[in-house]
Amino acid sequence: MRSLFLKSFLIILTCIFTVDSYTAQSDDDMQGPVTTMEFKATEFNFGNIIEGEKIQNVFEFTNTGDEPLIIINAKGSCGCTVPRFPREPIMPGETANLLVQFDSKNKGKVGGALQAKRVTISANTDPVSTYLTIKGTVDKKSKSNEGQIGSDNFDIDADDIILFPNPADQQLSINLEAYQGKSAIIEIYDTKGSLISTDNINEISSKPVIINSGNFDNGLYTASIKIDGKNRIAKQFYVTHGGE
């Protein structure tokens, strides 16, 4: 009996030591020089998607401090929201992307279901945690709208989708050259999730797609791009008229 008691005590002691060691290691990761990070926007409205689609939202951020920026972790508020962040340090003044993929499986309804998910970022910043929000509407899948849905996670390289100039004035150019020969649908949404324009591209070429932004109000917009056979990707851009 005494031997069993001692074994149980040692197991408990080992577990406590392991947890304490892990906590100490995590705390050490958060120590050291701190910097600041600034996102182009911390809230992302991806507009309307069809139930079952996965959309990759691209958050652009800059290290605005004087020390290398190290992201320790990024976690979504549920299993349907998966972040992917740079593992290498971001040097002062450098800009990088943090990707958040939202899986809309079983989240749609007739007339659209509003969805809002949060991502918590832990980095060597003060404060340590930064919060991002993605939101949008998921429509119930039907025979009329189901289309082709990509199957692989993060199947589009965000660096292959180039929006310029950003901010835009009279027109926005979207370079999709990496996906020549495929078809695409480009939808532009405002920050409220209202659809502003739709362009259907029968065959992507080496020339950029031109979006007429001359009639857009000044502000932040989302370009939601569905390339044939791929998951949807969304990037944000600004429209500024008159040099404002």
Element (H, E) at 222: strand 219-227
pLDDT at residue 14, rounded to an integer: 39
How many other CB atoms sit within 10 Å of the CB of residue 192?
7
Give the chain's domains with CATH numbers: 37-239 (2.60.40.10)
> Given this model, what pLDDT does residue 26 score?
45
- Read off the pTM: 0.80
User: How far, in Å, are 4, 5, 6, 57 from residue 1 at the CA level?
Assistant: 5, 6, 9, 59
Q: Tell me the pLDDT band of 203, cut-offs 50, 70 and 90.
A: very high
Q: pLDDT per residue over 133-175, tens digit each?
A: 999 999 998 765 555 455 667 889 999 999 999 999 999 999 9
Dist CA 235 CA 223 (whole Å): 5
The pLDDT value given to residue 72: 96
What is the per-residue pLDDT across 7-29, written as a single tens digit (0 to 9) for each? 444 433 433 333 333 333 344 45
Report, as an integer, the average pLDDT of 81-108: 96
